[in-house]
Structure 1
Amino acid sequence: MKPSRLFDLIPYQIATYDKEIALSKKENGAWKSFSTRDVKEISDNLSLAFLKTGVKSGDKIAIISNNCPEWNFVDIALQQIGAVSVPMYPTITSADYEYIFEHAEVKMIFVGDQIIHEKAKVVSGDRLIYSFEKLEGTIFWEDFLAIGVNEDILGLENAKEQVNPDDLFTIIYTSGTTGRPKGVMLSHSNVLSNVLAIAAIMTPAYGTSRVLSFLPLCHIYERTGSFCFMYLGFSIYYAESLELLGENMKEVKPHAFNTVPRLLEKIYDKIVAKGYELTGIKKSLFFWALNLGLQYDPAKTMGSWYDFQLKLANKLIFSKWREALGGEVMQINSGASALQPRLARVFWAAGIKVCEGYGLTETSPVVSASICTHKEMRIGWVGKLVQDVEVKIAEDGEILVQGPNVMQGYYREPDMTAEVLQNGWFHTGDIGELDGQFLKITDRKKEMFKTSGGKYIAPQLMENKFKESSLIDQLLILGENRNYPTALIVPSFEGLKEYCKHKDIPYTTDEEMIKKPEIIEKFDRELEQANKYFGKWEQIKRFKLLPKSWGIESGELTPTMKLKRKVIHQKFEKEINNLYQD
């Protein structure tokens, strides 16, 4: 059977792989697993419970939870009766919940834990709340499930038959770097077309591979990924938390996982920090291997002497990197924002194949993806267009996309929909280049700005270059309608501590260190090094060091760890103005 709707993936998996472990989560210190048949039985009973309680085709149901099998059960159950899931980030505010509940006309809410429940309850109105944990004041999901256990399965089969591939499957409210979130409407066929396109280029073995899931399922990147893993018969394990990710990697030994560049940057920084802790010959070998890896290009012949050295570096140093990721990783998919080329180089050199892709919520999400082979890997590009997806570059450089993966539109926003969907082409707002089937992203159209001298600045490309410094963790380039570019910089305090140790500079607190003249001078030299790669009008002239990292909870990052530029501009208005005072 060929799946035509997303919930068809479950009977397809039973017929093709019949997995003993389809989904798994850590509970009371042990992994609790569900077979494909378990997933089907639970999802079917949930569907029947929804029908029994009056949920109809087209009704909107909110899911607010960290990743867990229960998330999937509710999602599949809703699909089977034609109801529409409205997934939401656990980290957003009650005010955001309230807006989405009202705008999406949500009828019912599922929450993961006590903290989410408390945030949702204050704005839930008369909507019933169900929970994946036993909480006071809510209905436990298993009690809801019990409502459907003895119901007639024929009612469900009839409901399934009424669901068409082009029916609305979900409304995903984009996190957005500015303004109110928009509800992206995606159909079964939108997402399934993307699932099949991605599956065609995945390298781990079908039916026997394991994946570790930690990016939020409420984001289309991980959600489409999870459907793809189901189609390929991969066992999906849900990480306990980002803090326990390293431990879970060693337990699960995944063959693949999805990630965002920010997490790869953190992994890399931790590895380098450990390198600085070494002494003598071990330290020398570590940085010899690191520098060797930073020169690597998987698509080029590096020469026999280089290959010999790399083989040695893999045996002595890089093998430990692979062990830290479980030792069996065959493919890492990186998306949601730009990956620093140096990270792609060094991870590929270490035998860790990081494949960068590109897409948007509005495109279900994948537009292009790197093929996980040395021959077809292009560092600095976001891979080749996936099957059935077309791209053209507009006169102003904007990337336009057409294909079965392009959304139906923004929910209850016809004007916004008409603005981005023109003549069958979706206007992405990203600037890029196309070389045959290979795509390259250069910046966000809305993030590019002009200096007062009329020169264009593309901040993303520059920010990635400056962040190659081991002393820089986060950076935002400024300068719209100003004489010259400046930057707000959050140092890598781990890197700064290592630098101070190396230079015998006593380290006190983060706040005090960034005010010391010798530290400011060091950052000035770091910027000078990177400035050489850019035109005179692009070079950063002044900067301000900040004592605290930007985060999701504090509001400077979106849930997918992209910079909220407008928020940062507002929060640091005084510091920015000081950068332009002579």
Structure 2
Amino acid sequence: MAGIISEPGITSIPGLLRARIARTPDTEAFRYRARSGWESLTWAETGAKVREIALGLLALGVGAGRTAAILSGTRVEWLLADLGVLATGAATTTIYPTNTADECAFVLADSGSAVVFAEDQDQVAKLRSVRDQVPGVAKVILIEGAVAADDDWVLSLDDVIALGRSSEPDAYERAVAAITPDQLATLIYTSGTTGRPKGVELTHDNWLYIAEAVDPLDLMRPDDLHLLWLPMSHVFGKAIEIAVINGGTPTAVDGVVDRIAANMAELRPTVLGAAPRVFEKIYNTVLATVRAEGGVKLKLFRWARGVGLRHAANRRAGRSSPLWLRVRFAIADKLVFTKLRARFGGRVRYFVSGSAPLSPEIGEFFDAAGLQIREGYGLTETSAASFLARPEELRFGVIGRPLPGTEVRIADDGEVLIKGRGVMRGYRGLPEATAAALEDGWLRTGDIGEFDERGRLRITDRKKELIKTSGGKYVAPQAIEGKIKTACPYVANALVHGDRRNFCVALVTLDPDLVAKWAGARGLSADMAELTPNPELRAAVQEGVDAVNATLARHETIKAFAILGDDFTVERGELTPSMKMRRRVIEQHYADLLDGFYDGMIETV
């Protein structure tokens, strides 16, 4: 069912919202957690709240040419605040709630944000600590909690809404009508795997293009129930927001990661977007559980997985499975896969995976279980969505064909170049960086890729993260890291190292929840410091590494690995706020350990 993007006269995101309200005013828009349980807003109610927030912001001086920041986790107020900012003609700056005070200060100063929506008192305290560094921030708007009567810097969200209710109503319509397609809508700062983050400028037309491009792909329907937990500070979440408005899709909003499983069982959604790490953790949890149970259950799971993989491979290839395989699959589905689908509420139509490469093994397993994952690909600089796998041409390990209106070519050095309406306007205040990234409208993605025989793209690695061994051989670490996480059910993260070395090694971190189950089954302490050197646990990881090595060329194989005592963290600068590894930072932190792998060793590759 088509969305509303094809209706005439839509030239901005507020215009898209207005068209959605006119089409389906009384249907459910957003569902959110309240003290008494889940509550809902219709599209008309959403529009009324957005209007009040926008009018309040206009009264505070926020409008065209200004920016306002949101420093909050994913919640319904994030969406309302974003839409309210956009309706004034201003642009939204997104900030991760995990950012440090100094990082927040940099983004606020660089973006010139006039106001900041802060989720709670903890975020306000973070802002107060750097208030002298952000003189341009006139007001902080507190989403949750009480404001002291004598506070001259902080208002509550209710205060802003009250201000809006007492404002001239026509000011809203005038502000919305004045917005042009090329006007700045969103300022998202790249996670900064190297150096300071850059502010990516995305216009209203960038986002309208995304709505148009995904509209024919059956992504979001009015009869779906979408569960939104993705960080709205990330471009993936923002693209989903636009698709939801276009499709009129009821969306339950809860950004608490620990509640994803419980929310899926309770709400029974039909659509969910997630990063590959979520699917990896689900797969590894299932695998660790059946391994711990052992015996008949483990044999049944392995048999069902094998049957499901063969049956799904035939389906994806357009072949009919033979009768004996269809019968076996029906049995496997009833005994194993139905129970797995029930964990997700039993109604999932598909998942969308983005922000990092999805391991083919993970995608194939979910597909075998009747839980289809559509992998997408894009960058912050391309408004998130440049590619999305079509269900009729799924092939795990490749992303799919580009979305309509997006042009793609491969440069001589293998870099993927993208051109189209989804490509950013530029980097905030950085003309040289913009010129380096954009040439004749073509964006240099920094990713290395290739097309298959059907024009589907496969990303092989990051251009700047390719390892070149001392023997002159190239290694793509991301692909190997994904394989390790899939083959070793207890591994949370893996980093492959070997640039200018004579062989490759790895640092691995363990998933505390899964390792605790493993330890409990053996009567061991769950203390990670005690478990890390455990020979049996190391042997389990070694088994996975050996299985991965068997699939690699000799120069790519992992010759040694170390199990770290804890996972990489955002706080130590090892992960970006969007959970991507800062490879060079990790290598610096563990330089002595990595050097130790090579001391006295002369093996060459």
Whether these two folds match at TM > 0.5 is yes
1:257–1:331: 8 Å Cα contact kept in structure 2? yes
Is the 8 Å Cα contact of residues 451 and 480 (structure 1) preserved in structure 2?
Answer: yes
Task: Give me the identity figure in percent.
Answer: 32
Q: 1:496 to 1:83 in 2, by over 3 A?
A: closer
1:230 is matched with: 245
Among candidates 292, 298, 307, match of residue 326 of structure 2:
307
Moved more, 256-265 or 427-436: 427-436
Distance 2:458 2:21 in 1: 39
Q: How far 1:426 moved relative to its partner?
A: 0.3
Q: Which of residues 197, 203, 212 is equivalent to 2:213?
A: 197
Contact 1:260 1:560 in 2 (8 A): no
- Aligned match of 1:129: 140
Alpha-carbon shift at residue 271 of structure 1 (Å): 1.9
Q: Residues 203 and 330 of structure 1 are in contact (CA less than 8 Å); yes or no, is this contact kept in structure 2?
A: no
> Measured at CA, do residues 278 and 532 of structure 1 come closer, stay the same or move farther in structure 2, by a change above 3 Å?
closer
Cα deviation digits, residues 407-443 of structure 1 (max 9, x gap): 0000000000000101110000000012343111110
The 1:241–1:499 alpha-carbon spacing in structure 2 relative to 1, beyond 3 Å, is closer
Q: Is 1:41 equivalent to 2:48 in the alignment? A: yes
Give 1:417's match in structure 2, choosing from 426, 434, 440.
Answer: 434
Deviation at residue 510 of structure 1 after TM alignment: 3.0
Query: Alpha carbons of 1:496 and 1:65: their partners in 2 closer, same or farther (altered >3 Å)?
Result: closer
State whether residues 310 and 349 of structure 1, in contact with CA within 8 Å, keep that contact through their aligned partners in structure 2.
Answer: no
Q: In structure 2, how many angstroms separate the alpha carbons of the residues matched to 1:221 and 1:506?
A: 40
Partner of 1:258: 273
Q: In structure 1, which of residues 161, 169, 194 is the aligned counterpart of residue 177 of structure 2?
A: 161
Measure how far apart 1:89 and its partner are: 0.4
Superposition pairs of residues 410-489 of structure 1, within 5 angstroms: 410-435=427-452, 436-469=454-487, 470-489=489-508
Specify the code of the residue in structure 1 equivalent to 2:467. Answer: F
Q: Which residue of 2 aligns with 1:143?
A: 159
- The CA RMSD over aligned residues, in Å, is 2.1
Alpha-carbon deviation of 1:517? 4.4
Shift of 1:182: 0.5
Q: Normalising by structure 2, what TM-score? A: 0.91
Deviation, 1:170, is 1.2
Contact persistence 2:13–2:86 (CA under 8 A): yes
Match of 2:399 among 382, 387, 396: 382
- Indicate the larger mover: 70-79 or 276-285: 276-285
Cα distance in structure 2, aligned partners of 1:147 and 1:495: 50
Q: TM-score, normalised by structure 1?
A: 0.95
User: How much has 1:164 moved relative to structure 2?
Assistant: 0.4
Query: What is the deviation of 1:496?
Result: 5.5
- The answer to whether 1:95 aligns with 2:113 is no
SS of structure 1 residue aligned to 2:351: strand
Secondary structure in 2 matching 1:541: strand
Match of 2:557, SS state, is: coil
CA contact (8 A) 2:230 2:255 kept: no
Change (3 A) 1:246 1:526: closer
Structure 2 residue aligned with 1:334: 353
Give distance in 2, aligned partners of 1:512 and 1:117: 39
Deviation of 1:294 (Å): 4.6
Q: Secondary structure at the match of 1:366?
A: coil
8 Å CA contact retained: 2:228, 2:255: no
In the comparison of the two structures, how many residue pairs are matched? Answer: 578
User: Residue 283 and residue 536 in structure 1: after superposition, are their counterparts in 2 closer, same or farther (change >3 A)?
Assistant: closer
Return closer, same or farther for 1:102/1:264 CA change in 2, 3 Å cut-off. same
Structure 2 counterpart of 1:377, one-letter code? L
Partner of 2:3: none
Deviation (angstroms), 1:114? 2.0
Shift of 1:279: 5.6
2:15 pairs with 1:8 = yes
Contact 1:293–1:345 under 8 Å retained in 2: no
Give, in whole Å, the separation in 1 of the partners of 2:526 and 2:71: 41
Aligned counterpart in structure 2 of residue 396 of structure 1, from 395, 413, 423: 413
Q: 1:530 aligns with which of 541, 548, 554?
A: 548
Deviates more, 1:505-514 or 1:331-340: 505-514
Decide whether aligned partners of structure 1 residues 501 and 168 sit closer, same or farther in structure 2, where only a CA change above 3 A counts: closer
Moved more, 271-280 or 33-42: 271-280
Q: 1:515 aligns to what SS in structure 2?
A: coil
Q: Which runs of 5+ in 2 are unaligned?
A: 1-6, 149-153, 601-605
Query: Is the deviation greater in 213-222 or in 559-568?
Result: 559-568
Using the alignment, how far apart are the partners of 2:540 and 2:352 within structure 1? 35
- Is the contact made by 1:544 and 1:579 (CA closer than 8 Å) also made in structure 2? no
